[in-house]
Amino acid sequence: MTYGVRFYDSSGSVTYDSTSVTWNLIGVYTAPQNSNATFTGLKVMNERIVIRQMVSDDNDTDRAYVHTYSLSGSTLTATRPSSTQTQATTFQVFGR
């Protein structure tokens, strides 16, 4: 275990392991407006989830897009769906 908390009983058995119970923040990454982005060096864990959020909607139209993404190994790739209307997008990556 490289991080997290483990509790042991008097016989040395693990009674609580935070890496298998709670979600740990791996990192927060922001893809810029109207651009693709690649983030490398992410921690690889058994389970990971990604939360994405539009940073701001400074578009004058009713249409604004957030980046699509793929998470493979230690790389998060953010892809713009539009070259002119994709807003900056923040990604929070959690793992356990």
Question: What is the identity of the amino acid at 40?
Answer: T
- Confirm if 4 and 19 have CB atoms less than 8 A apart: yes
pLDDT tens, per residue, the chain with 96 residues: 457 788 899 899 988 887 777 788 999 999 999 999 999 999 999 889 999 999 876 656 667 899 999 999 999 999 999 998 899 999 999 998
Note if the pTM is more than 0.75: yes
Give the chain as a 3 state SS string.
Answer: CCCCCEEECCCCCEEEEHHHHCCEEEEEEEECCCCCEEEECCCCCCCEEEEEEECCCCCCCCCCECCEEEEECCEEEEECCCCCCECCEEEEEEEC
